[in-house]
Amino acid sequence: MFTLLQSPLHQMNETNNISHSKKRQRKDDKQEENDSDASNSFGQDGSRKKKKILKGFITSLILLEQQEKSDQEEQNHASNEEKILFEANHKKRIKTMVEYYGNIQDDHVEIQETERNKRKKSRAVAGAAAVSAASNGVAAIKGIKDAKHGGGAGGQQRRLWVKDRDKEWWDDCNRSDYPEEEFKKAFRMSKSTFDSICEELNSVIAKEDTTLRNAIPVRQRVAVCIWRLATGEPLRLVSKRFGLGISTCHKLVLEVCSAIRNVLMPKYLQWPDEDNLRKTKNEFESISGIPNVVGSMYTTHISIIAPKISVAAYFNKKHTERNQKTSYSITVQGVVDPKGVFTDVCIGWPGSMPDDQVLEKSALFQRANGGLLKDVWIVGTSASWKDKDFLENGDNGILFMKST
Same domain for 349 and 309, yes or no, is yes
Domain containing 134 equals 48-158
Does residue 278 sit in the same domain as residue 397?
yes
Residues 397 and 287 in one domain: yes
Output the pLDDT for position 389.
Answer: 38
Domain final residue pick, 107, 140, 158: 158
Q: How confident is the model at residue 220 (pLDDT cuts 50, 70, 90)?
A: very high
Helix (H) or strand (E) holding 298: strand 293-304
Does residue 202 fall inside a structural domain?
yes
One domain for residues 146 and 230:
no
Give a yes or no: residue 171 inside a domain.
yes
Rama region for 73: left / alpha / beta (φ>0; ψ in -120 to 50; rest): alpha
The Cα 191–Cα 282 span in angstroms is: 31
The pLDDT tens digits of the residues spanning 314-372 come to 999 888 888 888 999 999 999 999 999 999 999 999 999 988 899 999 988 888 888 87
Angle at 225 between CA 224 and CA 227, to 5 degrees: 65
Q: Which of 126, 158, 190 represents a domain boundary (last residue)? A: 158
Max avg pLDDT among 174-178, 380-384, 387-391 = 174-178
Are residues 151 and 187 located together in one domain of the fold? no
Looking at 210, 236, 268, the residue that finishes a domain is: 268
- What digits encode the pLDDT tens for the residues 8-39? 555 566 666 666 666 677 766 666 666 666 55
Q: For 243-272, what is the mean pLDDT?
A: 92
Q: Could you tell me if residue 340 is inside a domain?
A: yes
Q: Contact, 262 vs 219, CB < 8 A?
A: no
Q: Is residue 312 part of a domain?
A: yes
Partner residues linked to 379 by β-bridges: 296, 399
For the ranges 50-54, 163-167, 334-338, 366-370, which has the lowest average pLDDT?
163-167
Provide the percentage of residues in the chain whose pLDDT is more than 90. Answer: 31
Question: How far is the C-alpha of 181 from the C-alpha of 187, rounded, in Å?
Answer: 10
Query: What is the rounded distance in angstroms from the CA atom of residue 247 to the CA atom of residue 372?
Result: 44
Instruction: Indicate whether 32 belongs to any domain.
Output: no
Judged by average pLDDT, the poorest of 182-196, 335-349, 376-390 is: 376-390
Strands 328-336 and 293-304: antiparallel
Write down the pLDDT at residue 190.
93
Claim to verify: residue 258 and residue 193 sit in the same structural domain? yes
- Mean pLDDT, the chain, rounded, equals 79
Check if the beta carbon of residue 228 is closer than 8 Å to that of residue 287.
no
Whether 188 and 123 map to the same domain: the answer is no
Instruction: Give Cα 274 distance to the centre of its chain.
Output: 34
Instruction: Please report whether residue 36 resides in a domain.
Output: no
Assess whether 230 and 322 both reside in one domain. no
DSSP string covering 301-361, please? EEEEPPPSS-TGGGB-HHHHHHHTS--EEEEEEEEE-TTS-EEEEEEEEETTS-HHHHHHH
User: Does residue 16 form part of some domain?
Assistant: no
Residues 153 and 174 in one domain: no
For 400, other C-beta atoms within 10 Å of its C-beta total 22
- How many CB atoms are closer than 10 A to CB 67? 10
First to last CA, the chain: 131
Same domain for 304 and 252, yes or no, is no
Secondary structure class of 211 (helix, strand, coil): coil
Question: 352 and 317, same structural domain?
Answer: yes
Is 256 in contact with 225 (CB distance < 8 Å)?
Answer: yes
In this structure, the answer to whether residues 293 and 352 fall within a common structural domain is yes
Work out the number of other CB atoms within 10 angstroms of the CB of residue 162.
10
- Size (the chain), residues: 404
Report which secondary-structure segment, H or E, holds 135.
Answer: helix 2-136
Evaluate whether residue 12 is within a structural domain.
no
pLDDT of residue 338: 92
Domain count, the chain: 3
In whole angstroms, what is the distance from residue 65 CA to residue 274 CA?
A: 68
